[in-house]
Amino acid sequence: MASSTTLSGNPLLVTWNTPFGLPPFESVLPEHYKPAFDHALAEQQAEIAAIADSTEAPTFANTIEALEKSGAAMKRVGGVFFNLAGSHTNDAIQATEREMAPILAKHRNSIFMNAALYKRVAALYDKRDSLGLSAEQARVLDRYHTIFVRAGAKLGAEQKKRLAAITERLASLGTQFAQNVLADEKSYQLVLESGDDLAGLPSFLREAAAQAAEERGLKGKYVITLSRSSIEPFLQFSKRRDLREQAFKAWASRGDNNDGTDNKAIITEMAALRVERAKLLGYETFADFKLSDTMAKTPDAVQKLLNDVWTPARARAQEERDDLQALAQSQGDNIVIEPWDWRFYSDQVRLARHNLDEATIKPYFQLDRIIEASFETAHRLFGLSFREMKDFPKYHPDIRAWEVLDAGGHHIGTFIGDYFARSSKRSGAWMSAFRSQEKLTGDIRPIIVNVMNFAKGSPGEPSLLSFDDARTLFHEFGHGLHGLLSNVTYPLLAGTAVSTDFVELPSQLYEHWLSQPDILRRYATHYRTGEPIPEELLERLMGARNFNQGFATVEYLASAFVDLELHRRKDVTGLDVSAFEKETLEKIGMPREIIMRHRTPHFLHVFSGDGYSSGYYSYLWSEVLDADAFVAFEETGDAFNKNMAEKLKSFIYSAGNLRDPVEAYTAFRGRLPTADALLAKRGLAA
């Protein structure tokens, strides 16, 4: 146990006298985390024991509210640690992460399997209708009861013991899975010399590759990494088919190299443990267990949606493939299209069909201007304004922060942007919170972070984005607004703490506003001349929105099918991960020229934790909602209609988990959607 002297000097455990209570990042060292966790764990264990062992009859205040108030130090320490473990890690943090994963899982089990504590919660739940609770209090009680039951609180002693062992082991495996993927991404570099190695690469990609090389001590050369902002444009532009193949295979085989960072054995063990966990809790499969607490409810409902979209998407992808093959042949390239060829020839087809290529678009999409566009959209919809902070604690020199104000000029939260790829950051893009909004313990305002992996511009040059990059920024900022606008009393319901197939609605819906012509005319400006994007280029860009949509939909759906199929299995004994993936893709008729967006051995959504396991379909489920929701604005003739924006804020962005998702969406829209708007949005409607 750490000494009191050690604790008193631990920056994670003292009052943070920083702007808006930001964590004192620059004072935190890796050796501070473990003692801080030990202290926070002991503190919450004492708090839980006091609730569970109370001789007073259970009330909402002494049981549910007391539970909600417990673990304040855990939230503070964990908020800093887990955010940095994803966005700016190192060997020491990773070692602590591996050590803490089973300990924290054991701690969670000790709360939600506590028989005395569950007895108090169950007693309140059984007489919930006579307690005079507000709607929000009733929702909190219902959610706590559900969480306890799903954590195994009703099981017998031996079953609890086994379930606890399973969840602790899964936590360790998920941590190792993520660290293996990061290790593979970090270790790979495709070193390019000058001349023929650079054939076809536009200046923005050469500059980014030169900077990546310099960061790796290879000044004068060029390096392609496995960050999407590096490898995707390389696959798009490089005329060197041999190098495209080499880079693509490295990208596709993360976690699948039969070496020390191979994830296949981890997946096999996790799948078996998940099946066992589900059966202990009374479900036939893990998918049945996970989906029972979502909008979808059942694997069959998910399967139907995936099948409905798969058929037109696959047909469109085959048409796209034929176009690529025809173009290659017309150029005298005597090849058969392979996965590493798709982006290269697709870019040329887009140029031929829409007179549009990435090198033409990118100069108009400066990172700073797209950030401004996302803020302006939030201002027009919700009245928010953003005041950039200059003097604040940083965990990396590149991060930026803004104070967020409402229409009346009142502080509602703090927003952090961490935009650039680096070797200490896992791939992808995400939103998280260093602190969530709540009112139970005071007027607690959120600290929200968006993390991206964009290529950093050369010294003195702006960072330029693809249109997809810009859409990613809007997507994550939609999540950010879900956290920033949260207006609930109880922490359990705050911000993005909603079901996985509803949580993507605020983010995917927000993407629509990037494509609004008046936003693009104002913020898509040339990085050298400052001129707005020409009208004819804007028309071409909008005309090409659904270009290559068959490919994009197929690569996404393939991952969703594999995720669902794996977790629908009642028995995964002796699972051969590679064979399973191959068989599942053959069953759906996967085009050979496309691979899954996330192959199983690096499928972080599904195996780095429980978040999206059986739930990768959620993006599509939410897209049914977001496509229909934006139609509600279009029907008014104004994409920024004030009445619709107010309803959107009230029932979606600020409401957290106050309501069941079906009830929340119906309150906003007046009805539930069909998939028609989604198919139209993707250009896949008949």
| Separation CA 93–CA 177 (nearest Å) | 15
| Separation CA 460–CA 455 (nearest Å) | 14
In the chain, the largest separation of any two C-alpha atoms, in whole Å, equals 84
| Nearest Cα residue to 225 out of 259, 185, 260 | 185
| Cα end-to-end span (Å), the chain | 66
In one-letter notation, the amino acid at residue 527 is Y
Beta strands per DSSP E along 45-202: 190-192
Of the listed 47, 476, 504, 581, which one is catalytic? 476
- Angle at 439 (CA atoms; ends 437, 444), nearest 5 degrees: 45
3-state secondary structure 510-534: HHHHHCCHHHHHHHCECCCCCCECC
Contact 52, 116 (CB under 8 A): yes
Contact 184, 226 (CB under 8 A): yes
C-alpha dist (Å) from residue 574 to 272, 349, 467, 565, 587: 9, 44, 43, 16, 20
Sequence-distant (6+) residues with CB within 8 A of 297 are 291
| Separation CA 107–CA 40 (nearest Å) | 11
| Separation CA 189–CA 223 (nearest Å) | 6
For 466-483, b where at least 16 C-beta lie within 10 A, e where not — what string? Answer: bbebbbbbbbbbbbbbbb
Sign of CA dihedral 646, 649, 655, 657: positive
Beta strands per DSSP E along 424-470: 430-435, 447-454
Beta strands per DSSP E along 44-149: none
Dihedral-angle region of residue 589 (phi above 0 means left; psi in -120 to 50 means alpha; beta otherwise): left
Contact 121, 63 (CB under 8 A): yes
| Separation CA 612–CA 552 (nearest Å) | 19
Sequence-distant (6+) residues with CB within 8 A of 342 are 235, 324, 551, 593, 594
| Separation CA 624–CA 309 (nearest Å) | 11
Q: Is 476 part of the annotated catalytic residue set?
A: yes
C-alpha dist (Å) from residue 87 to 82, 90, 216, 417, 420: 9, 10, 19, 11, 10
Q: In terms of DSSP H, where are the helices of 334-466?
A: 342-354, 358-361, 367-382
Strand 411-420 and strand 430-435: the pairing is unpaired
| Nearest Cα residue to 196 out of 251, 249, 242 | 242
| Separation CA 325–CA 336 (nearest Å) | 7
DSSP assignment of 164-226: HHHHHHHHHHHHHHHHHHHHHHHH--EEE-SGGGGTT--HHHHHHHHHHHHHTT-TTSEEE-S
For the annotated catalytic residues, the residue numbers are 476
